Amino acid sequence: MKAAVSKIAILSNQDRGFESHPLRHGKGKLSGPHMGTHIRKESFAMKLKTFIFITLMGSLSLMALAQAENGKKSGTFSFYLENDLFAGTDRYYTSGVKLTWISPDLMDNQKNSRLLKWIHSLSKKFPFINKPGFHHAISISIGHNIYTPEDIERSDLIMEDRPYAGISYIGIGFNSQSNRRMSSLEFCLGIVGQHSYGEKYQKILHKLINADYPRGWDNQLKDELVLGINYDQKWRLLQSGKERDFGYELITHMGGGLGNLYTGATAGIEVRIGKDLPNDFGSFPIHPGGDSNAIFSKEDSRLYCHSRPRIHAFAAVNVNAVVRDIFLDGNTFQDSHSVEKNSFTGDIMVGVALAVNRFKISYAYVYRTKRFKTQRKPQVFGSINISFSY
């Protein structure tokens, strides 16, 4: 009789789906201290989701309010899409998307907006970007990146390859710009780990395009809030050719970041050549720091060439000195998978940009040197950027 009752109870539990829960079997049984730990993790996850949602909605509301209060100009939108699929691979830095809004010049438009006036007064308190006579703007960004090892069909932990990781983040930047110089200070807040939803995003995408199914996400980095402060300085060193004429430009940049997300320094140079070059500060892949696509000069070719497409080519070299990279070093406050990173790395980028009316569309092929000691192959990926100023 006892055996029959036990069998009925087991069948009842199976009907309710209890047999499929991994924490209700063997060593994962929810009992004693394990139950408390599980509840605390669920509570933390719920608080984390709420915090991220409120922060994201607050940033989008700030963007919308700034636009609504400003009567004449609404700034620039810039969208980035990066994927190694464009280069025929599926490894390492495998996906990046980012949307940025850049405000109009704060000085010229603060009379039309109480919010822009307050932001302009706030920006004066930051060092390095409070330059008299420069145009000033803010930028608000939201983005998502994914990183995987080379062989995504393996489900075991690949000790010699980089961890699975995703990040969802927002960034608020303060920018100062003249015709020859641009300074950017950006504050970044994000979440790395399960609740960045990198796993779900990649699995859905790979199913849609019938690509290899990633099986190793159980080994991804753990949830961690990440903070970063990034500063970037760009200079237009050489400029040949008058407006609406054929010419070339040489643009350099230098900057760095500090935080548990990334700590390091970077420097680079870009050359671009073509007709009616836009008066911005070049084409860059997704990187920490302010966006360089905004229109501040009344002589920018995007403002007066309303029917004729303009095209230019560009090439860039970038070097990095890395102190910390959470996507290679692993979690800051918890044990996690990690690999030994290379402290000095580089990027090479070549591409082409097309400007039509107030749109600018660019495509770049990016080659990255090996990021960690046991990396078998360098990284290659494609970067698409579409910006619209109005």
Residues, the chain: 390
Q: At what angle do helices 114-123 and 33-69 cross, to 10 degrees?
A: 110
For strands 359-368 and 344-356, give the pairing: antiparallel
Q: Strand, coil or helix: what is 295?
A: coil
Lookup result for tokens 């099986």: 215
Would you identify the CATH topology of the domain 71-389? Answer: Lipocalin (2.40.128)
Of 297, 180, 315, 308, the closest CA to residue 245 belongs to 308
Q: Strand, coil or helix: what is 100?
A: strand
What type of residue sits at position 262?
Answer: Y
Between CA 141 and CA 123 the distance in angstroms is 17
Between CA 225 and CA 92 the distance in angstroms is 22
Q: Each residue's pLDDT tens digit in the chain (390 positions)?
A: 444 444 444 444 444 343 333 433 333 344 444 455 445 555 555 555 555 555 455 444 444 444 444 434 568 899 999 999 888 888 999 999 999 988 887 766 556 566 656 665 666 666 655 666 778 888 899 999 999 999 999 999 999 999 999 999 999 988 888 888 988 999 999 999 999 999 999 999 999 989 999 999 999 999 999 999 999 999 998 888 655 678 899 999 999 999 999 999 999 999 999 988 888 888 888 877 667 766 655 555 555 555 578 899 999 999 999 999 999 999 999 999 999 999 999 999 999 999 888 888 999 999 999 999 999 999 999 999 998 887
Q: Where are the domains of the chain?
A: 71-389
Burial class of residue 278 in the structure, from the number of CB atoms within 10 Å of its CB (0-12 exposed, 13-18 middle, 19+ buried):
buried
Two tokens at 231?
Answer: 């500063």
